[in-house]
Amino acid sequence: MEKTERTYLDMIKETASWLRSEVGELPKIGIILGTGLGDLVNYIDIKTEIDYHTIPNFPVSTVEGHSGKLIFGMLGGKYIVAMQGRFHFYEGYDMKQVTFPVRVMKEIGVEILFVSNAAGGMNKEFMVGDVMVITDHINLFPENPLRGRNFDELGPRFPAMTEPYSQALINMADDIAKENKIRIMHGVYVGTQGPTFETPAEYEYFRIIGGDAVGMSTVPEVIVANHAGMRVFGVSVITDLGGKDIKEVPTHEEVQKAAIKAQPVMTSIITQMLERL
């Protein structure tokens, strides 16, 4: 018998059908929670929780202990699926692995994707703890997640990236911030591979080319979500500041601490957005 090659598309479908049998009814809204931003999970009325390592074809965590969870439940009156923990390129995952969960979300019917991350601020108006709504991004990862064979069923070979973050969702977040008197910033997110934080000259360079904040995630997932025709809302928590006049050294612990402090604002905006969807 001729051996047929199992494709990426086959893997996506297999995982989606496994989730369908495991979870039953599936949501139309997905949320990816970034570093230090897992607190949102405490507000979810959880229906089903699944460890990543039990999901077929999900990347296997390289770090011992918590590999992350897919959480299905109610938030802001809506049925959602949240990823607690994501796969970063700097950990050694390839781009197809980093973005696999987004493909699976789309396959199970997710139409709107919320993404959050911790980021370093270059914009001189920013303060640590600010929440920045992502209006656009600059992809500086060394590889595009769409490189390689394109499955037309998943999206076009040459997708437009003219509205990578939904303007309607940005407007909704702005309305909520205004009504709640929450300080909310806007900006362009620069996505880099890490794991080094930036040199002073690199922060300066990213600011000059149009960036407001820089981080090591989000861009691959947002590219794939756009390819798949999903609407995206992205938010960065500014956990440190960088530039040639800034002497504070960002550390992973500082980033986590700042993210944890800023999460009530992020949680409140996302929850209220869900209520209005």
Binding characters for ligand HPA, 44-73, by CB under 6 A (x = yes): ------------------------------
Query: Is residue 97 at the binding interface for ligand HPA, with CB under 6 A as the rule?
Result: no
Cβ atoms within 10 Å of 226's Cβ, excluding its own: 21
Q: 195: cis peptide before it, omega within 30°? A: yes
In angstroms, what is the C-alpha Rg of the chain?
18
Q: Which member of 59, 101, 187, 215 binds ligand HPA (CB under 6 A)? A: 215
Q: Which member of 72, 197, 206, 233 binds ligand HPA (CB under 6 A)? A: 197
Least distance from ligand HPA to the Cβ atom of residue 46, Å? 28
Which part of the chain contacts ligand HPA (CB under 6 A), choosing from 15-23, 40-48, 212-220, 223-231? 212-220
Pairing of strands 213-215, 184-191: parallel
How many residues contact ligand HPA, by CB under 6 A?
13
Which part of the chain contacts ligand HPA (CB under 6 A), choosing from 6-14, 17-25, 174-182, 238-246? 238-246
Burial class (CB in 10 A: 0-12, 13-18, 19+), 181: exposed
Least distance from ligand HPA to the Cβ atom of residue 33, Å? 14
Query: Are the C-beta atoms of 189 and 234 separated by less than 8 Å?
Result: yes
- Three-state DSSP class for residue 162: coil
Cβ atoms within 10 Å of 94's Cβ, excluding its own: 14
Q: Tokens in use for 2? A: 């001729």
Query: Is residue 206 at the binding interface for ligand HPA, with CB under 6 A as the rule?
Result: no
Point out which residues bind ligand HPA (CB under 6 A): 118-120, 197-198, 214-216, 239-240, 242, 250, 255
